[in-house]
Structure 1
Amino acid sequence: MTAAADKQTHEFQTEVRQLLKLMIHSLYSNREIFLRELISNASDAADKLRFQSLQDEALLEGDGDLAIRISFDKEARTLTVADNGIGMSRDEVQDNLGTIARSGTRQFLEQLSGDQSKDARLIGQFGVGFYSAFIVADRVTVLTRKAGEEAAAGVRWESTGEGEYTIESEARERRGTEVILHLKEDADEFLDGYRLRRIIRTYSDHIDLPIRMAREAADEEGDTEDETVNKANALWMRPRNEIKDEEYVEFYKHVAHDFDEPLTWMHNKVEGNQSYASLLYIPKRAPFDLWDREGGHGVKLYVKRIFIMDDAEQLMPRYLRFVRGVIDSDDLPLNVSREILQNNRQIDRMRAASVKRILDTLEKMAADEAEKYAEFWGTFGRVLKEGPAEDFGNRERVAKLLRFASTRGEGDVEAVSLDDYIGRMKEGQEAIYYVTADSFAAARNSPHLEVFRKYDVEVLLLGDPVDEWWVSHLQEYDGKRLVSAAKGELDPAKLGGENAPDKAEQEKTETELKPLVDRLKAALGETVESVRVSSRLTDSPACLVVGEQEFAINMQRMLKAAGQPFPTGKPTLEINPDHAIIRSLGEAPTDSVDDWAHVLYEQALLVEGGQLEDPAAHVKRVNRLLQMSRS
């Protein structure tokens, strides 16, 4: 095949074109970050080669001196970032440089607002990687060959970043990748060796790989050979007292692909029967893929400073998937695999110790830095709520860190801890009460709260989809049961205080309303489990109640919509004996009681976030009752 026939022109994926346009403008004021991103990519390529060469030493091709080299040509106005890492095949070049193979790309682009400062943060969370080269270059050339392949398998990729790119074969004797940036007219600063050195030392000093450049001038012996610009040692292996905060921050930006500083970090070394080092970060802002529970986690595994794998899910539970960082073990075998990790006591101990350090840090932050913890909670609280259901051993520790809105709070601010709630419980109150709904507004306005407001009992307002899940696993905290205000029969006498209703009066009311209760149950038939007089309503005419061990009605709706099987039970309709509608039904015509029974049920269902099976029938019933009221 001739070179001309081999050369192919492709269009960028639509999302890439959009991202390039927005990125170049949003990140213009911080354009030097392109070098950090390209160096990070080169470092990753070397890490992958190190790992794969453990199984196949031939991939090193006789050259195990892995390094990154930065060079520039003032006359040609080019800047080159070269590595001798794993390299790419032709298919990999097209996949990696022509598309953004990442879930959620479209949703990410929809979040971009045109506000450069806000968009810069979003783009940083998404990770700009290779495409950042177009911030300073009007043309980019990539020369690459995958380790272990023939010289003829080399590939040349080139684009101006406007919408198209070309790919063609080009023989390369050396494995690895060269990224050649043809700089824009206003990018002269990146043709200055001293400027490039400052950028490298600022952003990439921590890279555990030598970054080399030609000397600016010959030394005393006349040597003009390359020199290593960065420290080239693993930051996490250095003593903490020798590391500046700025170095921790820059390493975080490298490992997390984030533009912002982290909220906090934990650096530990463990020696003895098991030796390892860990450097873990809690981000300030949510990683882009935070809500993807099945996606990658943020902790990298190293063994003896050799990268083993990204996103090692065995090192961190899913409810802490926002944590970023590295764990480097001296004790694991270099050929460790995901299968070995799944049943490895050393991994279990490292995981348990890491989780403990994170929870220790969060507890200290909650106690000593309330504003900082509120910032953390606002970003990651919904994920942390998964903890009580996932981590049985740390269930109470995680629960202690949770924050809620409540009927005592203002607005939807989640600032109440379970300890706060217990400290305010009324004398004689036996349980922690909560109500779940599909939003904060629905929770605050739930009819199930009416009796609690009457007796001034605080109720936690849970409006996240995850809430129903974790409370079903916690059930008790500090010796107090967690009880849903919307489940089971409610005994007002257990709410505390001395104003509980007289049981004899309740029984009298139930006796008086038994004929109506029977009529309503007959009208609703198998739709409900039963109908009973309510102890929880003061303003609403009716509400629906499920059994204590059943999912709330809103949760049932979400599971049904997701196609998830779940045990179903019929709700109970509770009626308010003091409401005008209920009182009038005792004298209502028989044919209207049937309509009233269904309207009361359907209205109660809507309040719970449920859906009507036949909205048209509901409208007809309401219209009939309206006509009766006018006649």
Structure 2
Amino acid sequence: MSEAKQVETHGFQTEVKQLLQLMIHSLYSNKEIFLRELVSNAADAADKLRFKALSDNDLYENDGDLRVRVSCDKENRTVTISDNGIGMNHDDVVEHLGTIAKSGTAEFFSQLSGDQAADSQLIGQFGVGFYSAFIVADKVTVRTRKAGDAASEGVEWVSEGEGEFTTAKIEKANRGTDIILHLREDESEFADDWRLKSIVTKYSDHISVSVEMLTPEVPAVEAVAEVKDDEGNVTTPAVEAQDAIPAKWEAVNKATALWTREKADVSDDEYKEFYKHVSHDFADPLLWEHNKVEGKTEYTSLLYVPSKAPFDMYNREKQHGLKLYVQRVFIMDDAEQFMPTYLRFVKGLLDSNDLPLNVSREILQDNKVTQAIRKGCTKRVLKMLEKLGKKDAEKYQGFWDEFGQVLKEGPAEDFANKEQVAGLLRFASTHEDSSVQNVSLASYIERMKEGQEKIYYVVADSFEAAKNSPHLEVFRKKGIEVLLMSDRIDEWLVSHLTEFDGKQLQSVTRGGLDLGDMDDAESKEAQEKLEQEFDSVVKRIKETLAGKAKDVKLSQRLTDSPACIVADEHDMSSQMAKLMASVGQEVPETLPIFEINGEHALVKHVADEQDDEQFKQWVEVLFEQAMLAERGSLKDPASFVTRLNKLMLSLTK
């Protein structure tokens, strides 16, 4: 580098160092993707210039023919990717080529295991972009100038992919960016025109910007006269003189926007590669839908469902959305107005004919065209998932395992499509002895017992806690299926999803248990007899638990456990209280209802206890046991342990 340059040295962000090392080792088996990533970035730069030039045509600098050029130098073992797009200034270079400005970066690195195959999938979800250059290069030089800046404002960035990079101001006549890869000695295969061309046609055929490569130079040919032998046979054909044909740039991709083509003319492989272009994911999509809408609102949508969840999917504040084009002109990335938040995993693009070219995020927010497109795209995705669920249960299960918890946000967020979203939900249940969430509400209803009018469920902190909840005992006895919910969002879900297909959802931990026609006369008669027998005991327990329990009842739901607590019909459940507390919300104090099992030996022992102090101790222990089973913790666990120890000692005397 010339001494005349004022060179600045910068240290890479810590995460960049980690990413570079991981990439070089984890992505080595798929190293040709470096060209896909760099060409994709170059095409994006061209798209961004086209958008900026809508309001300032001077940015084209009398060169409106946007393109990407790929070339190589075998002798010097270099590959160069050039574009005449938006370009970068000094601050852009430091920001984009020295840091990773992604939320959840620390969480991403914490998920890396050291297993190269698994980590390569994660790195693919993270999106490596520019840094993929270091998969094949031991040094990268970037020369760039932002459109509209003076030629003297060019910037050169150089790094060997270790701990630092340098920047320097340079003279650059043309706007845009040149990326020069200095290939490692064992990567010289990429310094070959045919190799590069095969990669471009494989990965970048769909890009709407022209990707050009140099055709070989054809040397001049001198004129040769026709020569015949003695018998008149031509021994040397006549050749006309031809001038040399210099090497020239020619497009090696189709350079037409893939979404504008007819579906029948686009192969599955092309759809898959286009997905990787718009999402920067390495894995193939799970499914996609390409649709052209005509009529009152005209637009084309190409929507993809990924096969793997991104590492930051649960960050609702992260920018998400679709790429927006207006009349084939790129407008913005992450246009979130066209997809509800619970479908934030959907990738793809929209191309509208009905929005203005100078549309902004603010204009999109309350625009009637936006609302119509959002409604149409949401329906399209839900139908796509509905079809998958009916057609391929195994593939849908794979989708659910990745995105199910996000989809559970739907009923609260999207009232218009609540029933359709509910039909896509899956849960674990007592029907199968497994934590796998594969039971739909529709399949639950199909298996309902004769006389059953409600969909029963239990929400707990874990699958094991839900599965072993004492509230399930009578349901197991009667063979009634109960949905087992243990995701953090489940209590929020059922507070908004109160019925499905005309059937009410009923928590087994709330209010009085009414099994309706499923409760036989014999059971009702036995319950009434037991209530009379325990009437005085119940009153005595109420007095003991005054200020701690709202009410005390003889339980209909217990068969094996001595006691449980339930929430009153209109009170907040313990799970909802935990959820609110976890996000810093003030939780109103509510007292539970205490239910006892009159058939249990321990309860009968307590009922026969005449000593008031011993009776009180037993009741307190039973109550706190029930609180512990339901809520997972006690306000004063030390007192509970002391009380329990005293009772155990008393039994040994």
Relative to the length of structure 2, the TM-score reads 0.92
Is it true that 1:581 corresponds to 2:602 in the alignment? yes
The counterpart of 2:342, out of the listed 319, 329, 350, is 319
Question: Which whole-Å deviations, capped at 9, do the CAs of 1:178-235 have from their partners, x for residues lacking one?
Answer: 2111100011111111111110111011111111121134498725221111111110
Is it true that 1:570 corresponds to 2:591 in the alignment? yes
Q: Which residue of 1 aligns with 2:15?
A: 15
Partner Cα distance (1:606, 1:10) in 2: 56
Partner Cα distance (1:27, 1:12) in 2: 20
The counterpart of 2:638, out of the listed 613, 616, 631, is 616
Choose 161-170 or 117-126, whichever is displaced more: 161-170
**Structure-2 change in CA distance of 1:500 and 1:134 (3 Å):** farther
Partner Cα distance (1:215, 1:518) in 2: 96
Partner Cα distance (2:51, 2:267) in 1: 30
Say which SS state the counterpart of residue 526 (structure 1) adopts: coil
Partner Cα distance (1:82, 1:358) in 2: 37
Maintained 8 Å contact 1:159/1:166: yes
Is it true that 1:238 corresponds to 2:261 in the alignment? yes
Relative to the length of structure 1, the TM-score reads 0.95
Q: CA RMSD in A?
A: 2.0
The counterpart of 2:524, out of the listed 481, 493, 502, is 502
Partner Cα distance (1:227, 1:168) in 2: 32
The counterpart of 2:307, out of the listed 284, 290, 300, is 284
Aligned length: 628
Q: Which residue of 1 aligns with 2:395?
A: 372
Partner Cα distance (1:594, 1:166) in 2: 77
Is it true that 1:548 corresponds to 2:569 in the alignment? yes
Choose 436-445 or 59-68, whichever is displaced more: 59-68
Is it true that 1:397 corresponds to 2:397 in the alignment? no
Post-superposition offset of 1:561: 2.2
Post-superposition offset of 1:500: 6.0
Maintained 8 Å contact 1:428/1:497: no
Post-superposition offset of 1:538: 1.0
Q: Which residue of 1 aligns with 2:621?
A: 599
Q: Which residue of 1 aligns with 2:578?
A: 557
**Structure-2 change in CA distance of 1:593 and 1:168 (3 Å):** farther
**1:278-427 mapped onto 2 (5 Å cutoff):** 278-427=301-450
Q: Which residue of 2 aligns with 1:94?
A: 94
Is it true that 1:74 corresponds to 2:74 in the alignment? yes
Partner Cα distance (1:523, 1:185) in 2: 83
Post-superposition offset of 1:568: 4.7
Question: Which whole-Å deviations, capped at 9, do the CAs of 1:508-546 have from their partners, x for residues lacking one?
Answer: 433433433333333333232222221111111111111
Is it true that 1:537 corresponds to 2:558 in the alignment? yes
Q: Which residue of 1 aligns with 2:188?
A: 188
Q: Which residue of 1 aligns with 2:227?
A: none
Partner Cα distance (2:214, 2:652) in 1: 94
Partner Cα distance (2:385, 2:183) in 1: 45
Matched AA of 2:118: K
Q: Which residue of 2 aligns with 1:42?
A: 42
**Structure-2 change in CA distance of 1:550 and 1:40 (3 Å):** farther
**Structure-2 change in CA distance of 1:290 and 1:70 (3 Å):** same
Post-superposition offset of 1:497: 5.8
Question: Which whole-Å deviations, capped at 9, do the CAs of 1:341-397 have from their partners, x for residues lacking one?
Answer: 111111111111112222222222212222222222222122112211111111111
Choose 83-92 or 594-603, whichever is displaced more: 594-603
Choose 29-38 or 379-388, whichever is displaced more: 379-388
Matched AA of 2:552: V
Choose 396-405 or 564-573, whichever is displaced more: 564-573
Is it true that 1:629 corresponds to 2:651 in the alignment? yes
Say which SS state the counterpart of residue 560 (structure 1) adopts: helix
Question: Which whole-Å deviations, capped at 9, do the CAs of 1:441-498 have from their partners, x for residues lacking one?
Answer: 1111111101111111111111111111122112111111010111111024x26263
Partner Cα distance (1:473, 1:337) in 2: 33
Question: Which whole-Å deviations, capped at 9, do the CAs of 1:15-44 have from their partners, x for residues lacking one?
Answer: 221221111111111100000111111122
**Structure-2 change in CA distance of 1:500 and 1:359 (3 Å):** farther
Post-superposition offset of 1:319: 1.4
Partner Cα distance (2:331, 2:134) in 1: 31
Matched AA of 2:573: A
Maintained 8 Å contact 2:491/2:575: no
Question: Which whole-Å deviations, capped at 9, do the CAs of 1:290-328 have from their partners, x for residues lacking one?
Answer: 211221224111101111111111111111111111110
Partner Cα distance (1:486, 1:113) in 2: 40
Q: Which residue of 2 aligns with 1:429?
A: 452
Say which SS state the counterpart of residue 181 (structure 1) adopts: strand
Choose 365-374 or 422-431, whichever is displaced more: 365-374
Partner Cα distance (2:439, 2:448) in 1: 13
Partner Cα distance (2:548, 2:216) in 1: 84
Matched AA of 1:365: L
Partner Cα distance (1:540, 1:4) in 2: 85
Maintained 8 Å contact 1:455/1:495: no
Maintained 8 Å contact 1:550/1:568: no
Q: Which residue of 1 aligns with 2:31?
A: 31
Q: Which residue of 2 aligns with 1:272?
A: 295
**Structure-2 change in CA distance of 1:545 and 1:456 (3 Å):** same
Maintained 8 Å contact 1:557/1:610: no
**Structure-2 change in CA distance of 1:141 and 1:609 (3 Å):** farther
Choose 30-39 or 568-577, whichever is displaced more: 568-577
Maintained 8 Å contact 2:5/2:169: no
Question: Which whole-Å deviations, capped at 9, do the CAs of 1:246-287 have from their partners, x for residues lacking one?
Answer: 111100111111111111110111123322111111111112
Partner Cα distance (1:368, 1:564) in 2: 42
Matched AA of 1:197: K
Identity of aligned residues (%): 56
